[in-house]
Amino acid sequence: MVKKVAVLGSGSWGSILANMLVENGNKVVAWTNMEEQAKELNEKHTNEHYVPGFTYEKDLIATTDLEMALDGVDAVLFVVPTKVMRLVAQQMVSVLEKNGAKPIIIHASKGLELGTHKRLSQVLEEEIPEQNRSAIAVLSGPSHAEEVAKKDLTLVTAASADLEAAKTVQELFMNKYFRVYTNNDVIGVEMGAALKNVIAIGAGALHGLGYGDDAKAALITRGLAEISRLGVAFGAKPLTFIGLSGVGDLIVTATSVHSRNWRAGNELGQGMSLQEVIDTMGMVIEGVPSTKAAYELAQQKNISMPITESIYDVLYNGKDVKSVVADLMEREGKSELD
């Protein structure tokens, strides 16, 4: 059945998912806060800053008018950076209260809210009253906009406490190159998504420092161990961390030149300052705030996360990347499974 979908956030991931939903036969409106970007998408069918060289479906409509985007909507897909998720949800609710729509709410963002440390579905649940929505679901997994744009094969997970909602999301997104599994472990899926970005910054930093494949494999493996520890302490199922939204997304983000988090780490490893990295990226680097949130959550629950602590020291305490790697290596010997 053709659905009307509003995609909130027209950056690299939002615009490519919006395009794919048009390909899948839906009526899609991509909402952006930039008039020029809406004009470019509508007139040239491009989004040069975010996905250079890509031509979007002609039927994709872009707008800065939230009322128009949400008129008669069946599904709303949030793909804005974590730091504005709450604000955008509030904006959406004020429109839904007027137009009476009760859409399924999906988000495809990856992060933990600074200050509250909340997962994004928790933020959405808090901000969107039940009378303005049906279920809340999460779309997550190893998926770079640059590769989905090329219709490269991509497998992801749709997670919701409501299995029917997860199935609805599966049906909405699935096609010949984009395969969607369902999962009911929302905590595990969202924690894996947010925390893999932290480890990806570390993997990029190792690359920037000139370390080889042994070091990167070790970082990914030990990184997975510590993000699973934190996730499980907050109620995630351990098995989710060896699924697409766990190790799958960790592998792609910690090894791909497409990853903004990996690239940020690489530049830090090559000696750039954090401010220079942020200023030149031009896109969101979710791992930076998520490192702070993860560090604080680990302290709160007394969970050992040595890699996250080291990345935190580099990002927030100005420590030198090379010296934190040396410190990690020189810690006392440990049992692998503790």
Residues in 106-125 at the binding interface with ligand 13P, rule: CB under 6 A: 110
Residue 309, C-beta contacts closer than 8 angstroms, at least 6 positions apart? 295, 298
Options 85-93, 122-130, 253-261, 319-327: segment touching ligand 13P (CB under 6 A): 253-261
Residues 296/127/172/16 CA torsion (nearest 10 deg): -60
Q: Report how many residues bind ligand NDP under the rule CB under 6 A.
A: 27
Residue 237, C-beta contacts closer than 8 angstroms, at least 6 positions apart? 185, 187, 188
Partner touching 259 among ligand 13P, ligand NDP, none, CB below 5 to 8 Å by kind: ligand 13P
The whole-angstrom separation of Cα 220 and Cα 78 is 28
Binding pattern to ligand NDP, positions 81-120, x when CB under 6 A? xx-x--xx-------------------xxxx---------
Closest CB to ligand NDP: residue number: 11
Q: Rule CB under 6 A: is residue 286 a binding residue for ligand NDP? A: yes
Q: Is 196 a catalytic residue?
A: yes
DSSP string for residues in 172-193: HH--SSEEEEEES-HHHHHHHH
Sheet holding 75-78, edge to edge: 61-63, 27-31, 4-8, 75-78, 104-107, 136-140, 154-159, 178-183
| Residue in 4, 26, 50, 227 binding ligand NDP, rule: CB under 6 A | 50
Q: Which helix (H) or strand (E) holds 312?
A: helix 306-317
Q: Rule CB under 6 A: is residue 249 a binding residue for ligand 13P? A: yes
| Residue in 3, 133, 260, 292 binding ligand 13P, rule: CB under 6 A | 260
Partner touching 124 among ligand NDP, ligand 13P, none, CB below 5 to 8 Å by kind: none
Annotated catalytic residues are: 196
Where on the chain is the footprint of ligand NDP (CB under 6 A)? 9-14, 32-34, 50, 79-82, 84, 87-88, 108-111, 143-145, 283-284, 286
